[in-house]
Structure formats: structure tokens, C-alpha cells
Amino acid sequence: MFFIPELLNLQQCTQVRELLARGRFVDGKHSAGASVDYRKRNLQGDVADPAIAEAQKLVFDALNRHPHFAVLAMPRHVRPMVFNRYDVGMYYHDHMDHALLAGDPPIRGDMSVTVFLSALGEYDGGELVVNSDGPEATAVKLPQGHAVVYSAATMHKVNPVTRGTRWGAVTTVQSRIRRADQRELMGLVAQLTSWVQDVAPRSPEEDMANKLYTNLLRLWDEA
């Protein structure tokens, strides 16, 4: 799990929220699947609505431009954003995101992303709880415009909202690196390589770092 502070700035958050206020929302349980729809009670942006589509592009582009996301997630495919609205009493109980998602091409769900679009003072409850079925459960509630990326293979939930409205955007990512432990190592090596390039440019150590990163990528990348 890693965080992306200020994925969206205040102006972008305001723009997205204005679009969502104009957009059409439908019952979110229809996208959950018949086997788990009883766990889900929220509203979901209708992708056929032009305002929702415009908001999708704004958040999607911000995510894909972010260097932190590129280095640590190493995305191959990113699904279009889905916007969720949780009013008082709404929730999404324990669930796991789909392993394979329909599309052209189909996407393997390696990581999930949640972008928080409400200010912390706008609502109570509504925490995203990752690893919600185990002893290492982590409750996440971030400032407006911040995002969290976590393994799609973990059970997670959204706690009931007790005051206000929680707005958020979610998506699923297929990484170029299938295994989470290898993705973590690639992220560490990428950050180390960047540091060496800044501190010791044109040095033998820079050559070593570049060689390490390049050959690990060659070994693990799923072309």
C-alpha cells in the first residue's frame, strides 16, 4: 500500500465535484455482481452521463501523469475511474475486487486505487479499511485530492457514513509486474537509481544502478 498526496489540487477537486453534482448517479449494487450485491449500498456515477465522463477523464489523466504512481505501480492498463457517493447510512461491506475485468483487452486486477474527493470535515465514518478480514486491518481516511493504492487481492470495505456525504473515485490497475513483492523491489530500485543519478552522475555507481534496474525490468516485466 502506498499513498499519493495531492493527486488532485484544490482547483481540480472543485472542478470534479461540480461535474459530479451535475451528473447522474444510480444504485451502486448493480456493478457488484449478484453474489455480493447485498454487501453494497452506495450510489455510482452513470458512465453514460457526459458530466461523469468528463470527470472520469480529469481524474484518470491526473493519475496516469503522476510520477509516483508510474514508479511504484508500473501500470500497464488502468481502468476508467468509477465515482462513488456514500450518504448517511451507506457502506460497502467486506469484499474483494474482481481478479479479471472485461475489456479490450481484459484486465487482471493487481492493484486498486481510491481517490478521496471529500474534505475530512465534510463527513464522519466512511473509512476505507484494507485487510478488513485480518489482524492487520488498516483504516484509511485521507484529505481531499489524496489517493491510496493497495493490493486488489486484499479484502477491504468502506465503513458506514454517519454524517455528511463521502465522494470518491476508484479504479483497478494491471501492473507490468504481476507479483507484489517484485513490484515493491522495482519501486525501491527505481528510487535508488534516481538518487544515484542526482548525487553521482556519470559515475560507476550510476552505471551499476541503471544496470540493476534495467535487468530486473527485463527479468520481471510481462511484455
**Mean confidence (pLDDT) of the chain:** 93
Q: What is the mean pLDDT of residues 43-53?
A: 96
128-139 pLDDT tens trace: 999 998 888 999
SS3 153: coil
SS3 116: strand
pLDDT at 36 over 80: no
Q: How far is CA 178 from CA 2, 71, 84, 100, 173, in A?
A: 17, 14, 27, 13, 11
Q: How confident is the model at residue 60 (pLDDT cuts 50, 70, 90)?
A: very high
129-178 pLDDT tens trace: 999 988 889 999 999 999 999 999 999 999 999 999 999 999 999 999 99
Q: Domain 2-175: which CATH class?
A: mainly beta
* Model pLDDT, residue 106: 87
**Sign of torsion, CA 11 162 94 23?**
negative
* Model pLDDT, residue 32: 61
* Model pLDDT, residue 102: 82
Element (H, E) at 56: helix 50-65
